Amino acid sequence: MSDRPTPDGADFDAGCFDAGCFDAGRALRLNPNVGLRPEPFGALAYHFHTRRLVFLKSPALVDLVRSLEHHATAASAIAAAPSTHSAASYRRALASLEESEVVCGA
Amino acid sequence: MPEATVAPLVDQLSAGLDAPICLTWELTYACNLACVHCLSSSGRRDPAELTTAEAKAVVDELARLQVFYVNVGGGEPLVRRDFFELLEYAVDHHVGVKFSTNGYLLDAAKARRLAELDNVDVQISLDGVDAATNDPIRGEGSYDAAVAAMANLEAAGLAGFKISVVTTRHNVGQLDRYERLAADLGAQLRVTRLRPSGRGADVYHELRPTNDQQRELYRWLLDRPHVLTGDSFFHLSALGEPLPGLNLCGAGRIVCLIDPVGDVYACPFVIHDEFHAGNVREPGGFTAVWRESPRFRELREPGSAGACASCGSYDSCRGGCMATKFFTGLPIDGPDPECVFGNADEALARIDPATIPRATQDHSKPGRVPVRLGVAPRR
């Protein structure tokens, strides 16, 4: 196996990250150091600097992450995302992805 | 995930992806050492090894498939004259490289060159924390060579290189000392499992950790999630809380091996016709082998738990390592020889050594007398 792929980040139900302090009023984007590879379950994200592998376990979340750069704030990207998941789920996922540096401030 | 539209991740990964997450690429069978447990029975270069142009074509394919990194080994990769050319070509194409070396050829100039590259990780193999433990496994002088290489890396400012340890019953008690050594050098520790692959088959039963040592190792790893393991100890997860990682066998599903002559196998530890999927030189290249090989398709079918079906821990350990079972003569759908509950002991004792499969290639240097264990010693 690879060096310990970490099946974390974007784990909607994990609840291990407090999204309460996540500020959706900022502009976010896909970290330029992250490669995103589409998969049937969503996508694999690999951070070329931290060498961390993260599984995005929903195609809708992948679309949201890709759409971030077209929105002035994360909140507006979430508002425009399909209702596949609740806004709260999307916020938690983005908070977790920011924690693992898959997304970052624009 | 609230939605049930997508199968659980582990099931999806077990069914295989369109491309591996990462793969092992042995660049050459040539090696200046002759480690007793060499998983690829390396020593002599194979005249049919991929040329520089062919190797670059493989990198092109991996880049198209978005394989994020490759684990490069051998043999000794630094023996290849085009090593740095290939390394730079890979990282320029966003294919990261983690490469393993014995350190002999890693002088100060090469260390500086490595330190300048992004997306390159270096792993120095060290199978004992002192020469007395390491050298009987890796060869006279190999400890000093590894230490010199690590000093060169540290001096070059290559932060976070890895010290790579294959666990044996002689070094598993040294892990605390390893941890201190890594801390002193600003290095990261990587601990992986000994397999009966290649020449490892000859020494597996005398070197593999005892059951008591395995249990200690499990607790040691559980306390140290920062220690890298290449996910290789998932058979220990039968003991309770799972170790960090995916805890599944990724062979032919999310990982594979490309050997120096371009042959593709399910994983680095199963160099055997049984697990040979094709060659990157065939039309369609690596991509066709990965996607269409009947052998890989078989591996991606839902497996049966076999003799493990009645064990309550199967969901944790998934029956252990396929390669380790295969090269000890055990059925693939049964317990791992190192099953922590001893569920393989009876079957192991009944195996006729003459029926145990051997690796289907051997590049060991001439003069080496293959050791064939008569009766494998039991715990």
> How many CA atoms does the CB half-sphere of B57 hold within 13 Å?
14
Q: Please list the alpha-helical segments (H only) found in chain A.
A: 59-67, 74-80, 87-99
Q: In the sheet where B162-166 sits, what is the strand order?
A: B188-192, B162-166, B120-125, B96-101, B69-73, B22-26, B257-258, B263-265, B276-279
pLDDT of residue B5: 42
A13 lies within 8 A of chain B by CB: yes
The predicted structure's pLDDT at residue B342 = 96
Residue B114 pLDDT more than 90?
Answer: yes
Q: CA-to-CA distance for B316 and B325, rounded, in angstroms?
A: 17
Q: Contact B336/B317 with Cβ under 8 angstroms?
A: yes
Q: Which two tokens stand for residue B185?
A: 């050098």
Average pLDDT (B160-175) is 97
Check if the beta carbon of residue B109 is closer than 8 Å to that of residue B77: no
Quick one: pLDDT at residue A7? 36
ipTM: 0.83
Q: In percent, how much of chain A has pLDDT > 70? A: 80
Closest to B72 measured CA to CA, from B353, B284, B88, B345: B88
In chain B, what is the greatest distance between 2 CA atoms, to the nearest angstrom? 62
Encode pLDDT of B260-306 as tens digits: 999 999 999 999 999 999 999 999 999 999 999 999 999 999 888 89
pLDDT of residue B376: 40
pLDDT higher than 50, residue A6? no
* pLDDT tops 50 at residue A95: yes
| pLDDT of B369 | 52
Q: Residue B213 burial by CB count (10 A; 0-12/13-18/19+): exposed, middle or buried? A: middle
- Per-residue pLDDT at A19 exceeds 50: no
Q: Looking at chain A, how many residues does it have?
A: 106
pTM: predicted TM-score of the whole model, two decimal places: 0.90
**3-class SS shares of chain A: helix, strand, coil, % to 5:** 35, 20, 45
Chain B interface with A: residues with Cβ < 8 Å: 1-3, 6-7, 9, 12, 17-19, 21-22, 66, 68-69, 71, 94, 96, 98, 118-119, 121, 190, 228-232, 244-246, 250, 254-255
Task: Give A 49-78 residues with CB within 8 A of chain B.
Answer: 49, 51, 53, 55, 57-59
Determine, for residues A57 and B6 on separate chains, whether the beta-carbon distance falls below 8 Å.
Answer: yes
Around Cβ A55, how many Cβ atoms within 10 Å? 23
Residue A17 has pLDDT above 80, yes or no: no
**What does the block give as tokens for B70?**
């490759």
- What DSSP state is assigned to residue B251? B
pLDDT given for residue A106 in this prediction: 87
